Structure 1
Amino acid sequence: MTGPAAKGRMAKGLEATGLVIDVPGRPDGRALDLAIEPGQRWGVLGPNGAGKTTLLHTLAGLRPPRAGEVRLDGRGLSHWRRRALARRLGVVFQERHDDFPATVRETALIGRHPFLSPWRQEGPEDHARAVAALERLELSHLAERELATLSGGERQRVSLATVLTQAPDVWLADEPTNHLDLHHQVAAMALLAEQADRGHGVMMCLHDLNLAARWCSHLLLLYPDGEACWGEAEAMLTVEALESLYHQKLMCVEVDGAPVFVPTR
């Protein structure tokens, strides 16, 4: 695979070699051999239960694979110290559960924790990063609000702001547009594209085919039986492939040079 030249400290990106994700009760599917290289925007598409969230958690080192290996910069994730790995990989979860009360600003600052020693508090640079992230996600006016008082969409934007404050080399985002209105869906996708343009690798699970068509450079299609196919988005975005993936008839039209998929009977 090819991609923009690596920038900064990221050299080889995140690679899956012979990777079989562990979905309970499902036989082994096709092993994944792919790399999220700097500058690429990967979208993961598939119906409910296909294993999209399991894949992202496996790529993040949060659950073990059934087979194969995930490597960052050529080193298996098991050989990384957790703090060092947390400086490099950022995860936007589909849903977040906060057990302790915290403001929006305090939550965004969690993104800096991998960079702090156990007894060190956040410094001016850490606070500046959090302030900039909240402004980027249009959350500045909510900075002192308790997280528990926010809507689902506002909480999702806080999750994005927290990872932006972290500033990882690789973004793994599980349905980053979950709960968001149209304006903020576009803003979230633009943020992820901006991260890729800056030389980071991005992989995101999506349900909206049209967001994937407009914003992703590469796509991975996951099937409920464990089969998969992947490649550049232009080659993957065919009516035949997507109808097979979702068992749904589709019509494709072109708008501003991009395909738009509409379900039909």
Structure 2
Amino acid sequence: MASLETHELLIDVPGRAAGRCLDLQMKPGERWGVLGPNGAGKTTLLHTLAGLRPARAGEVWLDQRALARWRRRELARWLGVVFQEHHDDFPATVMETAMIGRHPYLSPWQRESGEDLAIAREALRRFDLDHLASRLVSTLSGGERQRVSLATVLTQAPRWWLVDEPTNHLDLHHQVAIMSLLEEQASAGCGVVMCLHDLNLAARWCSHLLLLYPDGEACWGPVEEMLELTALERLYDQPLTRVEVEGAPVFVPRR
């Protein structure tokens, strides 16, 4: 079972001297939502899980092997990352950007095959981007660009999705489509870790939650156990009202 684990992990948040070490065991099929206010370390944690940022202490393990022992090309077949911000330094079309997801499977100087192209086309179709395949990504709206990033990871076909704000810039229709796709990926045996600001999306779509507090405190567990009103109000320093809509919890901020 290709679990993603942290052992005594302390993420390196600038200006924060201490924090709770994270001992997480995240399994394929689970959808983990990482919640917390700005500056609590959500993006830092995601980058640390991806091996893109060193931890202050502890280790990340993937499939019972320390992340530091993985070769980068091999790791890219297992971990797919969607960043919060996109920096398009070179001109590229939507299709060319999606095809980057096939690079971990190609040897140096090997050209993409017809099968690779078909995988990318299907990913663009899933994100309602097929009609934009020839457009430069620099001409896209924020929501369109976010969907291209997600389509690129779908083209990559990793076993773990690490997603920073998956619904960033997206309208309601595409928010539901993205969260449904992540649920589908988990049902197919992938693992999903996503940083979220929308508490109600987390309540609706996540199986587990990790709450990161600004002082470095953290708690985690199944979503049903973590949606405790007092803990969430302390997390966001905001009074909340919990209501039930069609049997599901919805949280509304109080003035």
Q: TM (normalized to structure 2)? A: 0.99
Where does residue 209 of structure 2 map in the other structure?
219
- Match status 1:63 vs 2:29: no
Where does residue 4 of structure 1 map in the other structure?
none
Task: Give the whole-Å Cα distance in 2 for the aligned partners of 1:186 and 1:58.
Answer: 27
Where does residue 117 of structure 2 map in the other structure?
127
User: In the alignment, which of 83, 86, 90 is matched to residue 100 of structure 1?
Assistant: 90
Where does 1:40-189 land on structure 2 (aligned, <5 Å)?
Answer: 40-189=30-179
User: In the alignment, which of 161, 182, 186 is matched to residue 192 of structure 1?
Assistant: 182
**Alpha-carbon shift at residue 257 of structure 1 (Å):** 1.3
Give the residue type in structure 2 aligned to 1:151: S
Give the residue type in structure 2 aligned to 1:29: G
**Alpha-carbon shift at residue 223 of structure 1 (Å):** 0.5
Q: Deviation above 4 Å: which 4+ runs of structure 1? A: none
Give the residue type in structure 2 aligned to 1:179: H
SS of match in other structure, 2:24: strand
Give the residue type in structure 2 aligned to 1:42: W
SS of match in other structure, 1:33: coil
Alignment coverage as a number of residue pairs: 255
Unaligned runs of 5+ in 2: none
Where does residue 203 of structure 1 map in the other structure?
193
**Alpha-carbon shift at residue 155 of structure 1 (Å):** 0.1
Where does residue 5 of structure 1 map in the other structure?
none
- Superposed CA RMSD: 0.6
Unaligned runs of 5+ in 1: 1-10
Task: Give the whole-Å Cα distance in 2 for the aligned partners of 1:128 and 1:13.
Answer: 29
Identity %: 75
**Alpha-carbon shift at residue 119 of structure 1 (Å):** 0.9
Task: Give the whole-Å Cα distance in 1 for the aligned partners of 2:227 and 2:136.
Answer: 41
Give the residue type in structure 2 aligned to 1:88: W
Deviations 1:33-65 (A, max 9, x none): 112201000000000000000000000000110
Where does residue 224 of structure 2 map in the other structure?
234
**Alpha-carbon shift at residue 196 of structure 1 (Å):** 0.3
Task: Give the whole-Å Cα distance in 1 for the aligned partners of 2:85 and 2:175.
Answer: 16
Deviations 1:215-251 (A, max 9, x none): 0000000011111000000000111110010000000
Where does residue 254 of structure 2 map in the other structure?
264
**Alpha-carbon shift at residue 12 of structure 1 (Å):** 3.1
SS of match in other structure, 1:32: coil
Where does residue 23 of structure 2 map in the other structure?
33
SS of match in other structure, 2:161: strand
Task: Give the whole-Å Cα distance in 2 for the aligned partners of 1:160 and 1:196.
Answer: 15
